[in-house]
């Protein structure tokens, strides 16, 4: 792997980590979700979930911060499932993160469009 490839790989990893947290709180905002289902939903975004296991340290941290809670619920198709729920504090954090992300994404898009305009 060349130096440029390594840099891009590192950049995508860092970007993905921040976005993963943003996506988790937004998925949880729609309702309780159990871990496996959460991963499946997040995996629909291409490039967001590279290894499924990385979600769990993140969820453990959100729980420790009081942003999510967990509960076990019986399942008809297997062992009891652990459901994750966004707390009010988590909801507030989600709003803050979304606001920040929207401003950031808007600004970044503007730069991208300006750049394309220069070349066009």
Partner 1 sequence: MAEWTPEATDYLEGYLKQVRALAQSSGEDAEEIVSGLRDHITTKAEQESGALITLSALRQTLAAVGSPESIVEDSTNLRTRDTATAQTAPPPVIERVVVREPASKSGNVLRWVIVAAILVFLIPVVLAILSIIAAIAIPAWSRADESEQRAACAGNLKQIGLAIQHYKTDHNGTSPTAMSDLYPKYHDVADTFVCPGAANPPNRTGSIDEWSTYEFFTGADENAIVRDRSIHNHLPTGRNVLSEDGRVSFLREIGEIQTSRP
Sites of contact with partner 1 (CB under 8 A): 13-14, 17-18, 21, 34-36, 39, 50-67, 70, 77-79, 81-82, 89, 92-93, 96-97, 100
Smallest separation, CB 109 to partner 1 (Å): 21
In sequence order, the β-bridge partners of residue 73 are 81
| Of 10 and 113, CB closest to partner 1 | 10
Cβ-based neighbours of 109, under 8 Å, separated by 6 or more:
none
Tell me how long the chain is. Answer: 120
Smallest separation, CB 105 to partner 1 (Å): 15
| Of 6 and 13, CB closest to partner 1 | 13
d(CA 83, CA 38): 9
Using a 10 angstrom Cβ sphere, with 0-12 exposed, 13-18 middle and 19 or more buried, the burial of residue 110 is exposed
Smallest separation, CB 49 to partner 1 (Å): 9
| Of 71 and 110, CB closest to partner 1 | 71
| Of 5 and 51, CB closest to partner 1 | 51
Phi and psi angles of residue 2, each rounded to the nearest 5 degrees, phi first: -75, 170
Smallest separation, CB 74 to partner 1 (Å): 12
51 with 42: CB under 8 angstroms?
Answer: no
């Amino acid at each position: 792997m060349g130096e440029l490839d390594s840099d891009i790989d590192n950049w995508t990893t860092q970007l993905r980590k921040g976005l993963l947290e943003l996506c988790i709180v937004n998925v949880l905002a729609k309702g309780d979700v159990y871990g496996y289902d959460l991963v499946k939903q997040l995996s629909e975004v291409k490039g967001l979930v590279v290894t499924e296991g990385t979600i769990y340290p993140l969820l453990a941290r959100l729980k420790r911060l009081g942003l999510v809670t967990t509960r076990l619920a019986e399942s008809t198709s297997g062992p009891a499932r652990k459901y994750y729920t966004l707390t009010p504090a988590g909801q507030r954090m989600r709003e803050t993160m979304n606001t920040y992300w929207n401003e950031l994404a808007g600004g970044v898009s503007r730069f991208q469009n300006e750049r394309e305009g220069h070349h066009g």
